Structure 1
Amino acid sequence: MENFSRETKAGTLEGTYDPKFKPVVDAFVENFETRDEVGANASITLEGKTVVDIWGGKKARGGEPWVKDTVSLVFSCTKGATSLCAHMLADRGKLDLDAKVADYWPEYAKNGKEETLVSMMLDHSAGQPHLRTKLKDGAYYDYDYMVKLLEEEEPFWKPGVRNGYHGVTLAWTVGELVHRAAGKRMGKFFADEVAKPLGIDFWIGTPEEIEPRVAPMIFAEPDPAAAGSKFTQAVMNDPTSPAHLFLLNSGNTDFNSRECHAAEIGSANGMTNGRGLAGMYQPLANGGGNLVSKDTLARMGRVAMATHEDATLLIPTRFALGYMKSMDNRVLKSEPNSSCIMGDAAFGHVGMGGSLGFADPECKMSFGYNMNRMGFGILLNDRGQALVDAAYTSLGYRSNASGVWAM
């Protein structure tokens, strides 16, 4: 491993890396020099060993330095953590992914949701992409309130017949199943069974003493290139659409508030860094470790649902059970930043603004990237994808022209 230190216009970058992965370091530097990165951490493990861990910049524009233990919200990367909890319980025989939700959560089985399967909660086909009910202020911070609303809600479609990204509601659909199967809330289960044993800084419900380490999120500026996208048009013009409700019916959530950080929102408020994301996925890139068996791991990485038009995001999507698979939407017009191109075996999750964590069991690599300046778009922007591309080319992968990185 080599030490790394570089002064950029955004501040000091530092860390360590295996020389084989110098292209990742170069891409990280380029993000700060030409792509307006403010603060970030990128981390990669290979065959269980850390081969890249680099960080730097600022916690806010012109603010304090982003240091080794800085953390930030990783938004929907949190779904990877929540889904891991569900798969661990399935592996232990406490949660049957093929069973009805009603077997664990009878109060949910009403108003057209009686036949919903546990697996549908994970693959975004349960028909609960959001809630039609206008949410009260602070709704996302009130776990029991959100669970009760979802119990009463009618699905947007017959469960299982199609999928639409459950962008926020997965926190309480999958989260409550974990709660019922484990006998304790999902945030505590993750802390006790994943974060602590792996020794990673990753919280779903962040302790107050961590707040000084948090880099506030810098929200994305609108991108004129996306004005004509189906998603943007639905948000602006169709108040009954899942896209509109997902973005605008949020109970005035302030994701930079202490109240939000302290809540348990298992789809959107995980607090970690690239190191924590790579650390969570490291066992899953290497046979499952002490988290899950090889059979469960194989199921976790298999495509469970794919569509030409996701009912929420309105782009083609591909999902495993709780995880994103490689999605290549580069040919779409007026849909910038709507791709996330990984290896064919890889599975993980993008976070709003461009953070990413994933495992690739084919090459035994795990990857994590977080940042504080969010990019505009549905999936990865050029900063995150540049790092992913550099990681695969460092391993000798030849091309992603097929929609996945291939040798």
Structure 2
Amino acid sequence: MSGKRESVVDVQGTVEDGFEPVRDAFADNFARRGERGAAVAVYLHGRKVVDLWGGAKDGDGASPEPWEAGTAQLVRSATKGVAAIVPLLLHQRGLLDLDAPVGTYWPEFKAAGKERVLVRHLLSHRAGLPVVDTPLTPTQAIDGVSGPAALAAQAPVWEPGTEHGYHAQTYGWLIAELVLRVTGRTLGSWVAEEISGPLGLDLWIGLPAGMQSRVGRLADIEAPAGTGAAGLRVRPKRAVAEAYEDPSSLTRRAFGAISPAADENSPEYRAAELPASAGIATARALARCYAALIGPVDGHQRVFAPATLTLARTEESAGLDRTLLVHTRFGLGFMLHGAASPLLGPGAFGHPGRGGALACADPESGLAFGYITNGMQKNVTADPRAQALLRAVASRIGG
């Protein structure tokens, strides 16, 4: 690639001394990697050290409004990491047994050979329920009833606990219903009352009506040629590409659990409590949330006790993913650092969102990271823009 070009985007925000490479990488994302509007934030040992934003608020050009300090975005599967906090905290408080059958809390779930599906299987993508036998309409997907009911009634596609495969959309219905059965509260309300509220986070699973104007519009965009992250494949292997195109494949069915595809920019979708795919946040909120999982933040006690933090990032699933057809690693609800999803370091945990967003933390270095974008590129776990930012953060700590 030719030398670095000057970014035409006015990057806003601040970086502490020593983190200037993150600003440079953020500007490069606009100049060289197709970025339209985005934000990135980094915390170090509970202190915010990077807080940057720039570009247009709407990825589809629907409005000339610039991205502002408080602009939020839908973060797709980066929502899963936030959702995973809830069952882990319920376990931490003695309200949920990770080794209990799901049917202990959700009796209807025992149907069709699922009596031995454990709570930890839901969190580690080992339940054998990555698809719904009949895809749900967008209206059914957000009604809070149809998704859990369909999954409770159907049989797993593999023996639970024996293999793993990414539960792209079904993860949300499974975890949401489990939390509802245990607490009597929806997962979105639990996050609002127990996590976002106390920590002062602009982070929602179920966007309040008054916040709609804060959210930029997503758009699918093409990445410029040759902009893949170093060490990663820009294009998937042929078998993977074919699986995404084959309507009968587990891969296509998992990502097509809602059909026709929902309009992610609609107020109804943004307001839906879909813990697999419809969380909305600022980059600042994602980074602060993960920082609070691993240590104190601005006088707030850490959210995860040491034992819970160990559970979050201890490998539960590893190897060839039945859905993604690449090698993935999962703890309990979180993706772990690996070739398919590089994070901040070997002990880091977090979750990407298909097409761009990423949030993660590394207890060893004390770093927490949040990145959001309105331009959705064709990737699932390793967006080149997010990876460029991670490399810049790692350069600050000698990674």
Could you tell me the TM-score, scaled by structure 1's length?
0.89
Find 1:384's aligned residue among 370, 373, 386.
386
Residue 284 of structure 1 contacts residue 361 of structure 1 at CA under 8 Å; is this kept in 2? Answer: no
**2:279 matched to which residue of 1?**
270
Find 2:338's aligned residue among 327, 334, 345.
327
**1:143 matched to which residue of 2?**
144
Residue 220 of structure 1 contacts residue 353 of structure 1 at CA under 8 Å; is this kept in 2? Answer: no
2:361 partner letter: A
Q: CA RMSD in A?
A: 1.8
Indicate the SS of the match to 1:89.
Answer: helix
**2:230 matched to which residue of 1?**
none
1:105 partner letter: W
| CA distance in structure 2 between the aligned counterparts of 1:247 and 1:103, rounded to whole angstroms | 29
Residue 304 of structure 1 contacts residue 320 of structure 1 at CA under 8 Å; is this kept in 2? Answer: yes
| CA distance in structure 1 between the aligned counterparts of 2:318 and 2:70, rounded to whole angstroms | 37
Structure 1: unaligned runs, 5 residues or longer: 1-6, 329-337, 398-407
Indicate the SS of the match to 1:20.
Answer: coil
2:219 partner letter: I
Deviation, 1:135, is 2.0
Residue 46 of structure 2 contacts residue 296 of structure 2 at CA under 8 Å; is this kept in 1? Answer: no
| CA distance in structure 2 between the aligned counterparts of 1:380 and 1:278, rounded to whole angstroms | 18
**1:233 matched to which residue of 2?**
242
**1:333 matched to which residue of 2?**
none
Pair 1:261-2:270 in alignment = yes
Structure 2: unaligned runs, 5 residues or longer: 1-5, 226-233
CA change 1:287–1:222 in 2 (3 A) is closer
Residue 138 of structure 1 contacts residue 251 of structure 1 at CA under 8 Å; is this kept in 2? Answer: no
| CA distance in structure 2 between the aligned counterparts of 1:383 and 1:16, rounded to whole angstroms | 19
Pair 1:246-2:257 in alignment = no
1:365 partner letter: L
| CA distance in structure 1 between the aligned counterparts of 2:266 and 2:215, rounded to whole angstroms | 11
Residue 13 of structure 1 contacts residue 55 of structure 1 at CA under 8 Å; is this kept in 2? Answer: yes
**2:202 matched to which residue of 1?**
201
Deviation, 1:137, is 4.1
1:14 partner letter: Q
| CA distance in structure 1 between the aligned counterparts of 2:17 and 2:236, rounded to whole angstroms | 42
| CA distance in structure 1 between the aligned counterparts of 2:16 and 2:177, rounded to whole angstroms | 41
2:313 partner letter: G
Deviation, 1:342, is 2.9
2:20 partner letter: K
Residue 295 of structure 2 contacts residue 303 of structure 2 at CA under 8 Å; is this kept in 1? Answer: no
Counterparts of 1:75-154 in structure 2, within 5 Å, are: 75-154=76-155
Deviation, 1:241, is 2.2
Deviation, 1:374, is 1.1
| CA distance in structure 1 between the aligned counterparts of 2:219 and 2:69, rounded to whole angstroms | 19
Runs of 4 or more consecutive aligned structure 1 residues displaced over 6 Å after TM superposition: 222-225
| CA distance in structure 2 between the aligned counterparts of 1:279 and 1:251, rounded to whole angstroms | 34
Deviation, 1:71, is 0.4
Indicate the SS of the match to 1:327.
Answer: coil
Question: What percent of counterpart residues are identical?
Answer: 38
Residue 294 of structure 2 contacts residue 302 of structure 2 at CA under 8 Å; is this kept in 1? Answer: no
Greater Cα offset, 252-261 or 185-194: 252-261
Indicate the SS of the match to 1:37.
Answer: coil
1:108 partner letter: F
Residue 209 of structure 2 contacts residue 271 of structure 2 at CA under 8 Å; is this kept in 1? Answer: yes
Deviations 1:330-385 (A, max 9, x none): xxxxxxxx542430111000001121001110011110000100111121221100
Find 2:294's aligned residue among 276, 285, 301.
285
Pair 1:54-2:52 in alignment = yes
1:178 partner letter: V
Could you tell me the TM-score, scaled by structure 2's length?
0.91
2:275 partner letter: G
**1:366 matched to which residue of 2?**
368
Residue 335 of structure 2 contacts residue 341 of structure 2 at CA under 8 Å; is this kept in 1? Answer: no
| CA distance in structure 2 between the aligned counterparts of 1:56 and 1:386, rounded to whole angstroms | 16
